Structures are given as structure tokens and as C-alpha cells.
Amino acid sequence: MKVALIGVGQAGGKVTERLTRFDANMGFDAVQGALAVNSAEPDLHSLEFVDTQLIGADRVNGHGVGGDNELGAEIMQSDIQQVLGQLDGRITSHSEAIFVIAGLGGGTGSGGAPVLVHNLKQVYDVPVYAIGVLPGRNEGALYQANAGRSLKTLLREADSTLLIDNDAWHEQGESVESAFESINDKIARRIGLLFASGEATEGVGESVVDSSEVINTLRSGGVSVLGYASELAAEDSGENIQVAMSVARQALLTGASMPNATSADAALLVIAGQPDRIPRKGVERARRWVEDETDSMQVRGGDFPIDSDRLGALVLLGGAERSDRLDEFMQRAREASKKEQRSVEENVEQFTDDRIENLF
């Protein structure tokens, strides 16, 4: 799948750089263009692998917005023409999707990403997706409140919002801050593989994944979730039926970017590995298991041939907002919003309710 990536804010820029670097190092060539946008100049200077665009210099003089996501939204809107201008030539007729990436708890990314998505959708015909990093449980109230408002607005604006919970992809005992490097690495590898899986054309049979399958899986909008797991596999595919089942189960149950997301409108199961090691029967069984587990009648499947002695499973869920973890996060965001003295009321549906305000 040919994609253009735009990172907004510090986390967005770092993840965009990681993803772009991974894609280039692996020779996948799925990332066609990448841009990092920020109001903090030093954060942009630390990026070497992507182009950069400073916004809000007239308001914050390159110092960032200090967690004020309303200001983040305003400066993105004020400087939107410069950002769109920078994207000329990076989003081409080959681009199949645009991904806007941001940490939702801060200021520039949290406020800027929904505004950017909104504007991109006016200009481009391809889907505009968001990749949003949710703050960990131990991050402060401002982060939770910011992320709640940003998420609510992204869900309204983006064609789908892939969520990564900062508590999900780090090791036990590690603090979130010290884990950023390893979380970013996992994001890059897993999302990078997803992009690349829709690109595979060499030496493959009929069951290769096509980028339209990623797009169709995300078609219902809302929240999307990506899971991944891998295991050593035998050389003979006949011995790997259990392995295929096991990696699919782990990808969904313990390896998901947002835990406990086991209900979805649609899903895509990609089995990555050497074609000789991929067991047809096992893949079909795993696909049916994903169907049962997610209560979805639309589970697409496909292979991603890569040279490895392991079998990997990538599970992409579309329309996965019915999740305990997300409910728990929205509850945190509501409580934090109260603390932040934003008016919130009780007992109304999340996302469509007034307890969490949209950003714009």
C-alpha cells in the first residue's frame, strides 16, 4: 500500500521517522513521502530522515504549545496552507492513503492532527487515516483530557483512527517514558509490515493481500486496532497448522495496539512468512477463529511472503470501538476533563455526547 505519512507534534514526528526508516531499510518502498509538522523547533531538528515544517512561529516562536491543544488546533489552521504546500509532490497519484500520526495527549499533535485531517479530506480523494497514540494510565490529567477531546474530533474527521495505547506495547515494569523508544520501534515494525503487506507481488500465490483489503477493512470508520505476534515455524507447512492458530490468537489477545478490542465490524488477518512454511489449512482455521472472536462476518485474509524462519500474524480490526479498554480510557478522559474544569455531564453515550467537547 503506497502511503504518505504526516507526523504532528513530537510523538507524531518520532513515529513517522521510525516508520519511514523501517520501510526504507526493509526495501518495502510503501512510504512515498513523509513530513513532520511541529510548533517546537528543537523537536524538528532532531529528525534526520523526514522533511519538516514548523508551524505557529508567529504565536509561540518555535517553543511548542505546552500541552494547550486548542492552541495546537489554531496554529495548524492558521498555517494550513504552508503545510499543504509542503505536501505537494509527496502525496502523488500513486498514494493510496494518507496517515496523520500524533500523540493525542500533548498540544501540537493533539490539536493539530484533527485540523490537518479535516483539511486533507477537503483536498484529497484517497482515505485519510489517523494513527493516534493514547496516553498511558499514569500520565497526568491534562494528557487524558487532551486525548479525549482529540480522539472525539478525530473519530468525526478521519476515515478511521488506528489507536495505540501507550500502556499496550511496552514491557512490564518499564516506565512509559523510558519505553518510548521500544514502543516506537514496535509501532514502526507492525504498521510498516501492514503497509508493506499490501505491496507484495513477487513469488506469491493467489492469496496475497491487496491494499484494497486494508482499505475495505477500515471502511466502517471509527476506531481501528492492529495486533501482531510471531513464532518460530517448521520448514514444512504441514507442521505449522498450530503455529498459524497460535500467532493469530496472540496477535489479537495479547499483541493488540489497544488491548481487549475483540469486537469489530471487519478484520484482516495477514500471515507473514516464507510461502513454503505457510499452512493453508492453518491460515483458514485462524481466519475462522478471528471471525468468531470478533463477531465479524467480514474477515479478510491473505499472505505476506517474507524471508523468515518465523510465522507472523498481523490482525487489523476496523470498527473496533466497542472495547472495555476504550471505555476505560474515555472514563479517564471525562474525569480529567472535569478536573480541567471543562463542563461534562453524566450518562450520555460516549463520542456523540457532550461530556467531552469536540476541539472544533
Ligand X SMILES: Nc1nc2c(ncn2[C@@H]2O[C@H](COP(=O)(O)OP(=O)(O)OP(=O)(O)O)[C@@H](O)[C@H]2O)c(=O)[nH]1
Q: Is 166 in the site for ligand X (CB under 6 A)?
A: yes
Positions 174 through 203 that interact with ligand X (CB under 6 A): 176, 180, 183-184
Q: Is 105 in the site for ligand X (CB under 6 A)?
A: yes
Q: How far is the CB of 13 from ligand X (least distance, A)?
A: 8
Q: Is 106 in the site for ligand X (CB under 6 A)?
A: yes
Tell the residue number behind the cell numbers 507526523, with chain if given: 7
Q: How far is the CB of 216 from ligand X (least distance, A)?
A: 28
Q: How far apart are CA 134 and CA 23, in angstroms?
A: 24
Q: Is 12 annotated as a binding residue?
A: yes
Residues 6+ apart with CB under 8 A from 16: 5, 6, 7, 34, 35, 36, 50, 101
Q: How far is the CB of 56 from ligand X (least distance, A)?
A: 9
CB 210 within 8 A of CB 304: no
The gap from C-alpha 157 to its chain's centroid, in whole angstroms, comes to: 15
Q: Is the dihedral of CA 282, 283, 285, 286 positive or negative?
A: positive
Cβ proximity to ligand X, 68 vs 213, nearer residue: 68
Q: How far apart are CA 344 and CA 218, in angstroms?
A: 30
- With H, G, I as helix, E, B as strand and everything else as coil, classify residue 359: coil
How many C-beta neighbours within 10 Å does residue 60 have? Answer: 21
Q: Is 274 annotated as a binding residue?
A: no
Give 259's DSSP letter. T
Interface segment toward ligand X; rule CB under 6 A; list 8-16, 250-258, 286-294, 308-316: 8-16
Q: How far is the CB of 23 from ligand X (least distance, A)?
A: 18
Binding-residue total with ligand X (CB under 6 A): 28
CB-hemisphere CA count at 13 Å for 283? 25
Cβ proximity to ligand X, 43 vs 96, nearer residue: 43
How is the beta sheet containing 223-232 ordered, strand by strand? Answer: 51-54, 31-38, 3-8, 97-103, 128-134, 160-165, 223-232, 310-318, 266-273, 299-305
Cβ proximity to ligand X, 11 vs 243, nearer residue: 11
Tell the residue number behind the cell numbers 513521502, with chain if given: 33
Of residues 5, 6, 10, 119, which one binds ligand X by CB under 6 A? 10
Q: Where are the beta strands (DSSP E) in the chain?
A: 3-8, 31-38, 51-54, 97-103, 128-134, 160-165, 223-232, 266-273, 299-305, 310-318
Q: Is 257 in the site for ligand X (CB under 6 A)?
A: no
Q: Is 10 annotated as a binding residue?
A: yes
Interface segment toward ligand X; rule CB under 6 A; list 99-107, 193-201, 298-306, 309-317: 99-107
Positions 57 through 96 that interact with ligand X (CB under 6 A): 64-67
Q: How far is the CB of 34 from ligand X (least distance, A)?
A: 16
Q: Is 184 annotated as a binding residue?
A: yes
Positions 124 through 153 that interact with ligand X (CB under 6 A): 133, 135, 139, 143
Q: How far apart are CA 278 and CA 276, in angstroms?
A: 6
Cβ proximity to ligand X, 16 vs 240, nearer residue: 16
Cβ proximity to ligand X, 50 vs 133, nearer residue: 133
Alpha-carbon radius of gyration of the chain: 20
Positions 23 through 42 that interact with ligand X (CB under 6 A): 38-40
Q: Is 14 annotated as a binding residue?
A: yes
Q: Is 296 in the site for ligand X (CB under 6 A)?
A: no
CB 104 within 8 A of CB 72: no
Cβ proximity to ligand X, 66 vs 275, nearer residue: 66
Binding site residues, ligand X, CB under 6 A: 9-12, 14, 38-40, 64-67, 103, 105-110, 133, 135, 139, 143, 166, 176, 180, 183-184
Annotated binding-site members for GTP: 10-14, 107-109, 139, 166, 184
